[in-house]
A and B are shown apart, each in its own frame.
Chain A
């Protein structure tokens, strides 16, 4: 077959088989879908970043030496690994989406990766500052079974008095530096905080939720060495006002907005 025969053969085939070009909308739709995939992935990666920032702000890196296990195990236990993976996966999907767009191949993978990461980090920081990170995390903890396990395990880490870690809500101040506390399982503890090795950065009050590192003296007595508020950072709500963080133990229902405001006023 020579070239002119190719031309004749192609035209004949198109005409006899009545082959028509695909609609312009079909290509447009595909491209729009890719951009949506990109946008959605950037949004999810930003959510990941906001929770990572939140997790890092909440992590007691200075208490590293009080944790159990080898240095590597302790280090890994402090990292929000799920959210770091979550961020990486969605940055990757955003990258694929962008690469598959019509002109996506013109940019190098490293450039696109950098752009996606910067977008995710910027947007994630905005989410964090708007107070969205806690909400995102609680949505995951309540709805994603796999994540619920990780989330509860992180909380349960503070329900191991025999390993020197205890958390709960102060229910009564007996005298200065001695108080009663209800733990996650509503078990009452008498806590002695007279020999703290780190100065208490706040005044203990009834209703306050705290976590402690120390020593189990008896079945219901705990000697605290370090006391930290359950949540480290006072957060801002969507109106930009500083507020006490909401704290929930495993199984506890989320606080309604009105209930939360009432509690804040009472405090």
Chain B
């Protein structure tokens, strides 16, 4: 059986016996998580990579804390989310805004989902602009739902909130997104 055929949970078990398996886990997630950090924070690539390194070290140190039935992907997204928010707040308190202009392609969600939800054709540039003005919690939940394609249960595990709250948050985020787009005169 090749390493790429192992499930995340199998790789976690193997990693505790052989660190090289942990390397496979890191490779599997680094690109996805890097994009996630960019999308929710707008940080420069340097800072996003530093965050990610810290995330993988935390994952390694706390590997024994991971257990089913939670999905490994939810667990690692949670650690990434917490680390990003923590860095964001530290920088904000030090007065060091480190947000940069990001590649528009990062804001290309699953079109069909977005069109279905908002009943509109939306350009990635417009999405990026609107997301930038949303509050942290609304941006996070929209990114997880429409860009990372996470289920309600997964979002509940990542943000550590009840599933019912996820539904409410998504509904409010969509309203907030609509309001912000009309405020910015962005016609999709």
Contacts and interface: CB of A to CB of B under 8 A. Distances in A.
Interface of A: 1, 3-4, 6-7, 9-11, 13-15, 19, 21-24, 26-27, 102, 105-108, 111
A22 B56 CA distance: 14
A10 B31 contact: no
A229 B160 CA distance: 54
Contact of A10 (B20, B53, B160): B53
B165 interface: yes
B19 interface: yes
Interface string B153-169: 00010001111110000
B64 to A, nearest CB: 4
Contacts of A24: 64
Interface of B: 16, 19-20, 22-23, 26-27, 30-31, 34, 45-46, 49, 52-53, 56-57, 60-65, 67, 156, 160-165
B155 to A, nearest CB: 12
Contacts of A23: 64
Given A6-B56, A106-B163, A22 B62 contact: yes
A107 B162 contact: yes
Nearest to B55: A10
A97 B46 CA distance: 38
Contact of A3 (B16, B31, B62): B31
Contacts of A4: 27, 30
A108 B169 CA distance: 14
B35 to A, nearest CB: 10
Given A3-B34, A21-B16, A14 B62 contact: no
B9 to A, nearest CB: 15
A26 B63 CA distance: 12
B30 A21 contact: no
A11 B23 contact: yes
Contacts, number: 71
Nearest to B32: A3
Contacts of B30: 3-4, 6-7
Which 5 A/B pairs are nearest by Cβ-Cβ distance?
A: A105-B160, A3-B30, A24-B64, A10-B56, A7-B26
B19 A106 contact: no
A14 B57 contact: yes
Given A21-B61, A21-B64, A11 B19 contact: yes
B81 to A, nearest CB: 13
Given A105-B162, A106-B162, A14 B64 contact: no
Contacts of A108: 162, 164-165
Nearest to A109: B162
Contact of B60 (A3, A14, A102, A107): A14
Interface centre among A11, A19, A23 (most CB of B within 10 A): A11
B62 A21 contact: yes
B162 A11 contact: no
B162 A19 contact: no
A3 B30 CA distance: 6
A7 to B, nearest CB: 4
A4 B31 CA distance: 9
Nearest to B26: A7
B23 A27 contact: no
Given A4-B30, A6-B53, A13-B57, 13 more contacts: A3-B30, A3-B34, A4-B27, A6-B56, A11-B20, A14-B60, A21-B16, A21-B61, A22-B65, A23-B64, A27-B64, A105-B162, A108-B164
14 contacts: A1-B45, A4-B27, A6-B26, A6-B49, A7-B27, A7-B30, A9-B53, A10-B56, A11-B19, A21-B63, A27-B62, A105-B156, A106-B162, A108-B162
Contacts of B67: 102
A103 to B, nearest CB: 8
Contacts of B61: 19, 21-22
Given A10-B56, A14-B19, A19-B57, A1 B156 contact: no
Nearest to A104: B160
A1 B19 CA distance: 22
Contacts of A105: 156, 160-162
Contacts of A111: 162
A115 to B, nearest CB: 13
